[in-house]
């Protein structure tokens, strides 16, 4: 009989540990950093889209009050490009030539005593250009395709043949548009040199990449660069690459021998921190009359900058989405004179799933089969490529439980068949999946003589809540009350962590935190192994329960000792352990997993025995369409999510809500518009419209499924699951409501009103 008094916090809905700091305005974002002697940099950006810089007239700016330096390509030293990271190459370093490759390219920088002086002086700089004709369309004969080494074409079976002989075919083209990450926190960099050592406060999702990039740029030792970002202020992927302005802030500080702050303006955010590049996607599906998929072809073309390389995952999810014997995918990027694209929530998957899940919906109408039934019929019960069983897969539960919660059975299958007052009502749904992704991650954990625990890793928290869930996880693994646990991140001096991105951080960091905490408990167990003064002398990990800041013999509650008492007796201030997470499918160094204060043996199925599954979701959407105005309102969303083990249902639910909001924006509102010379017309949040509170109504999130078997933690990534498939679910609902199939995002009013199909055009109650 054993007694534990520690209540496990993992799995319970908890408020954010940093919530109070944020609400009080006490959280320090990079933009808030103030240093003695701080100077300010302001950027001058190209007003042309392609060409060469002719002359930069900087005299007036140099004479302007407070100006310390004007920097442009002619007085900039050679700066090396940052190293390639596991998520791809960095953009080219700034100010290295007179070439202008896109509108909004940084062409000069003013450093001054105040931000106002810097901006005023920047406005005095006159730049002349030799203009070239920009490349702005996929069919421009001057452009060149880039075939991507990271996303190879896939072929399984013989898709063209299977298509030719299929009972039913759907063959359509879908387009998605340029979208811009629009975090409320403007990206900022504060750089300060001390000799050859550089400290940078930077809005980034990846401190170690910023460290390595700046070290390369300035030819210094990465160990001499420290990147700090305890709070990010939103990023959604915009902070995954090391952008030219980051290097420019460090350059400005080097030139002026002053700490320098550089804050992008809202307009500059649209051209300086990447965007979701537009796509054209051809989707072809073949199926038997009874709804068995026989072929999938997915060909995508997307834009990329004139001198850039970017991982592109548009077709990546398609081969293993359904149990289909014949699949072919191809993804091509076409160089364009556009601001350098980057990553935006579920990069590639959000776009690819729009095409695939729209096409599946079209197939359901062509076959006269309910869209859920069609998906269930083609569910991949095993990994389609390898034939291996999944490490976990609750997609069927997502369909079933989501449909129940949504009330799908009330749906009349015919398009234009449901109304609410004058509004056309549509129900649509889509499948979503993410690949399993867990990059390597290190963490370090200490228990101190005062009984507190301090765990840290050089990761970031862009908002989803690593601060909170890692604090919870450490508290449970160590048996230290959560109030006595501190979790630190956002510092490249901490152990190396991957980016917060690709929905991979909870798994990566969580497994590192879990392993390091188990290792730390093990170190205490070892310390008391022959300690005659300890009531837990000779204990073993298998036989203990951690609780109340110490270790208890599970079967003998009277035998208990706190970590603090052990440290004190041994004359130690703290015990500290560093560890690295084991890759999925490999047994971690800990070999025991912490659950409910106990430690139980753990065996992972090897990667050769199971296919490591990512997260799954089914999204259900009700839209109301005004037949007179063509406006689409997402009245409610139900998302059923298989996220494996959910560490904190509250923050997890918030992540899904955020993804749904971005999905609504992607589906209905967001579009970066350029004029025919390639200049951006949408450079504020008045013109680039994101989903606001009024656009996001009822949202219901349910979590289904079991802990994944491939890692000790059992989590799956969820950060990008909600936007994946969301645009398709909305488009499918719009079709169901109106009979208008919009295959081009965003689903704007004119596209909804543009229905001229006599088979589905309304004859009554509206112009639609």
Q: Which of 103, 206, 218, 343 binds ligand MOS (CB under 6 A)?
A: 343
CB of 237 vs ligand MOS, minimal distance in Å:
2
CB of 498 vs ligand MOS, minimal distance in Å:
10
Please name which of 77, 67, 73 lies closest in space to residue 54, comparing C-alpha atoms: 73
CB of 348 vs ligand MOS, minimal distance in Å:
9
| Residue 314 in contact with ligand MOS, rule: CB under 6 A | no
> How many other C-beta atoms can be found within 10 angstroms of the C-beta atom of residue 143?
18
| Residue 345 in contact with ligand MOS, rule: CB under 6 A | yes
Q: Which of 91, 207, 463, 501 binds ligand MOS (CB under 6 A)?
A: 501
| Residue 347 in contact with ligand MOS, rule: CB under 6 A | yes
Tokens standing for 542? 């298998």
CB of 206 vs ligand MOS, minimal distance in Å:
9
By CB under 6 A, the count of residues binding ligand MOS is: 10
CB of 711 vs ligand MOS, minimal distance in Å:
19
Closer residue to ligand MOS, CB minimum distance, 344 or 721 = 344
Rg over alpha carbons for the chain, rounded to the nearest Å, is 28
Q: Which of 232, 255, 344, 728 binds ligand MOS (CB under 6 A)?
A: 344
Closer residue to ligand MOS, CB minimum distance, 622 or 720 = 720
Q: Which residue is nearest to ligand MOS (CB)?
A: 237
Stretch that binds ligand MOS, among 76-84, 303-311, 340-348, 401-409 (CB under 6 A): 340-348
| Residue 103 in contact with ligand MOS, rule: CB under 6 A | no
User: How far is the C-alpha of 276 from the C-alpha of 314, rounded, in Å?
Assistant: 11
CB of 179 vs ligand MOS, minimal distance in Å:
11
Tokens standing for 730? 């909305």
C-alpha distances in angstroms, 521 versus 435, 516, 596, 605? 33, 9, 14, 25
CB of 181 vs ligand MOS, minimal distance in Å:
8
Closer residue to ligand MOS, CB minimum distance, 347 or 707 = 347
CB of 238 vs ligand MOS, minimal distance in Å:
8
User: How far is the C-alpha of 497 from the C-alpha of 459, rounded, in Å?
Assistant: 5
Tokens standing for 316? 């990546």
Closer residue to ligand MOS, CB minimum distance, 274 or 291 = 274
Closer residue to ligand MOS, CB minimum distance, 69 or 462 = 462
Stretch that binds ligand MOS, among 338-346, 552-560, 589-597, 611-619 (CB under 6 A): 338-346
Closer residue to ligand MOS, CB minimum distance, 365 or 616 = 616
**Is 267:672 a contact under the CB 8 Å cutoff?**
no
> How many other C-beta atoms can be found within 10 angstroms of the C-beta atom of residue 697?
14
User: How far is the C-alpha of 13 from the C-alpha of 544, rounded, in Å?
Assistant: 27
SS3 of 83-125: the string is CCECCECCCCCCCCCCEECCCCCEEEEEEECCHHHHHHHHHHC
Instruction: Indicate the DSSP class of residue 542.
Output: G
Instruction: Indicate the DSSP class of residue 667.
Output: I
Q: Which residue has the tokens 């000779």?
A: 538
Task: Point out the residues that are catalytic.
Answer: 720
| Terminal C-alpha separation, the chain | 70
The residues, ordered by sequence, that sit 6+ positions from 340 with a Cβ below 8 Å of its Cβ are: 91, 102, 274, 305, 308
Please name which of 495, 683, 684 lies closest in space to residue 577, comparing C-alpha atoms: 495
Q: Which strand ranges, in their side-by-side order, compose the sheet holding 453-456?
A: 485-488, 453-456, 442-448, 574-580
Closer residue to ligand MOS, CB minimum distance, 276 or 375 = 276
| Residue 498 in contact with ligand MOS, rule: CB under 6 A | no
Q: Please tell me the chain's helix, strand, coil percentages from 3-state DSSP, rounded to the nearest 5.
A: 25, 25, 50
Q: Which of 91, 415, 502, 739 binds ligand MOS (CB under 6 A)?
A: 502
**Is 433:614 a contact under the CB 8 Å cutoff?**
yes
Tokens standing for 638? 């139900």
CB of 253 vs ligand MOS, minimal distance in Å:
27
Q: Where are the beta strands (DSSP E) in 179-264?
A: 188-194, 197-202, 225-228, 260-263
Stretch that binds ligand MOS, among 132-140, 151-159, 343-351, 756-764 (CB under 6 A): 343-351
DSSP state string for 435-455: -------EEEEEEETTS-EEE
Please name which of 427, 280, 345 lies closest in space to residue 745, comparing C-alpha atoms: 280
Closer residue to ligand MOS, CB minimum distance, 347 or 550 = 347
Four-residue CA torsion sign, 559, 560, 563, 566: negative
CB of 438 vs ligand MOS, minimal distance in Å:
13
CB of 461 vs ligand MOS, minimal distance in Å:
12
Pairing of strands 423-433, 418-420: antiparallel
User: How far is the C-alpha of 752 from the C-alpha of 633, rounded, in Å?
Assistant: 12
How long a stretch of residues is the chain?
A: 768
C-alpha distances in angstroms, 279 versus 80, 312, 652, 720? 31, 11, 30, 19
Closer residue to ligand MOS, CB minimum distance, 481 or 502 = 502
User: How far is the C-alpha of 51 from the C-alpha of 67, rounded, in Å?
Assistant: 29
Closer residue to ligand MOS, CB minimum distance, 588 or 614 = 614
Residues 176-215 vs ligand MOS: string with x where CB under 6 A? -----------------------------x----------
Closer residue to ligand MOS, CB minimum distance, 205 or 281 = 205
Site for ligand MOS in 239-298 (CB under 6 A): 240
Closer residue to ligand MOS, CB minimum distance, 110 or 434 = 434
C-alpha distances in angstroms, 190 versus 29, 65, 77, 184, 226? 11, 22, 20, 18, 12
Stretch that binds ligand MOS, among 337-345, 468-476, 615-623, 625-633 (CB under 6 A): 337-345
Residues 219-248 vs ligand MOS: string with x where CB under 6 A? -----------------xx--x--------
User: How far is the C-alpha of 89 from the C-alpha of 94, rounded, in Å?
Assistant: 15
CB of 149 vs ligand MOS, minimal distance in Å:
19
Sites of contact with ligand MOS (CB under 6 A): 205, 236-237, 240, 343-345, 347, 501-502
């Amino acid at each position: 009989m054993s007694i534990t008094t520690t209540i496990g916090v993992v799995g319970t809905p908890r408020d954010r540990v940093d919530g109070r700091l944020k609400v009080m305005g006490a959280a320090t974002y990079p933009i808030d950093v103030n240093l003695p002697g701080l100077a300010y940099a302001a950027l001058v950006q190209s007003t042309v889209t392609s060409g060469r810089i002719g002359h930069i007239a900087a005299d007036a700016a140099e004479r302007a009050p407070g100006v310390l330096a004007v920097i442009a390509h002619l007085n900039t030293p050679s700066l090396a490009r940052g190293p390639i990271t596991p998520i791809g190459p960095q953009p080219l370093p700034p100010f290295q030539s007179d070439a202008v490759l896109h509108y909004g390219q940084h062409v000069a920088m003013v450093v001054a005593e105040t931000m106002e002086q810097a901006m005023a002086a920047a406005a005095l700089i006159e730049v002349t250009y030799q203009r070239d004709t920009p490349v702005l369309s996929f069919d421009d004969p001057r452009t060149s395709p880039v075939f991507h080494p990271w996303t190879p074409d896939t072929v399984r079976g013989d898709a063209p043949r299977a298509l030719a002989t299929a009972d039913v075919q759907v063959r359509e083209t879908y387009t998605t548009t340029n979208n811009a990450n629009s975090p409320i926190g403007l990206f900022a960099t504060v750089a300060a040199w001390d000799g050859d050592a550089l400290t940078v406060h930077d809005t980034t999702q990846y401190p170690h990449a910023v460290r390595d990039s700046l070290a390369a740029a300035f030819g210094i030792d990465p160990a001499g660069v420290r990147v700090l970002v305890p709070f990010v202020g939103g990023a959604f992927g915009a902070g995954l690459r090391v952008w030219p302005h980051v290097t420019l802030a460090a350059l400005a500080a080097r030139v002026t021998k002053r700490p320098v702050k550089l804050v992008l303006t809202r307009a500059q955010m649209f051209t300086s921190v990447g965007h979701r590049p537009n796509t054209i996607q051809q989707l072809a599906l073949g199926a038997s009359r009874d709804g068995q998929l026989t072929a999938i072809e997915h060909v995508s073309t997307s834009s990329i900058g004139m001198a850039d390389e970017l991982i592109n995952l548009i077709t990546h999810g398609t081969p293993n989405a359904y149990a289909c014997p014949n699949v072919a995918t191809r993804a091509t990027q076409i160089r364009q004179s556009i601001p350098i694209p980057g990553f935006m929530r579920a990069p590639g998957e959000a776009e690819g799933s729009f095409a695939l899940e729209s096409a599946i919906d079209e197939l359901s109408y062509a076959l006269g089969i309910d869209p859920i039934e069609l998906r269930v019929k083609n569910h991949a019960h095993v990994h389609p490529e390898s034939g291996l069983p999944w490490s976990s897969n609750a997609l069927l539960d997502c369909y079933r439980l989501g449909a129940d919660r949504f009330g799908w059975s009330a749906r009349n299958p015919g398009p234009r068949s449901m109304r609410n007052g004058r509004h056309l009502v549509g129900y649509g749904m889509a499948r979503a999946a993410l690949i399993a992704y867990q990059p390597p991650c290190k963490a370090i954990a200490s228990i101190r003589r005062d009984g507190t625990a301090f765990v840290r890793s050089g990761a970031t928290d862009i908002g989803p809540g690593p601060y909170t869930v890692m604090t919870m996880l450490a508290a449970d693994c160590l048996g230290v009350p959560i109030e006595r646990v501190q979790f630190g991140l956002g510092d490249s001096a901490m152990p190396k962590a991957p980016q917060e991105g690709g929905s991979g951080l909870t798994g990566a960091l969580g497994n590192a935190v879990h392993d390091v905490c188990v290792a730390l408990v093990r170190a205490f167990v070892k310390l008391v192994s022959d300690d005659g003064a300890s009531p837990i002398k000779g204990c073993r990990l298998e036989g203990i329960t951690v609780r109340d800041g110490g270790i208890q013999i599970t079967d003998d509650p009277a035998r208990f000792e706190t970590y603090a008492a052990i440290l004190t007796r041994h004359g130690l201030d703290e015990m500290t352990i560093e560890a690295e997470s084991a890759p999925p499918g490999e047994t971690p160094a800990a070999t025991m997993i912490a659950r409910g204060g106990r430690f139980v043996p753990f065996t992972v199925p090897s990667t050769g025995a199971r296919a490591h599954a990512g997260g799954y979701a089914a999204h259900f959407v009700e839209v109301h369409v005004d037949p007179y105005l063509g406006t689409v309102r997402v009245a409610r969303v139900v998302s059923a999510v298989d996220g494996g083990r959910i560490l904190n249902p509250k923050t997890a639910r918030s992540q899904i809500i955020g993804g749904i909001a971005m999905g609504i924006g992607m589906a209905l509102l967001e579009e970066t518009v350029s004029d025919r010379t390639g200049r951006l017309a949408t450079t504020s949040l008045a013109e680039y419209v994101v989903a606001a509170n009024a656009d996001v109504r009822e949202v219901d999130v349910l979590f289904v499924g079991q802990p994944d078997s491939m890692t000790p933690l059992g989590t799956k990534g969820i950060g990008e699951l909600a936007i994946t498939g969301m645009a398709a679910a909305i488009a499918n609902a719009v079709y169901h409501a109106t009979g208008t199939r919009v295959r081009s995002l965003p689903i704007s009013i004119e596209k909804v009103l543009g229905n001229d199909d006599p088979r589905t055009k309304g004859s009554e109650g509206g112009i639609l």
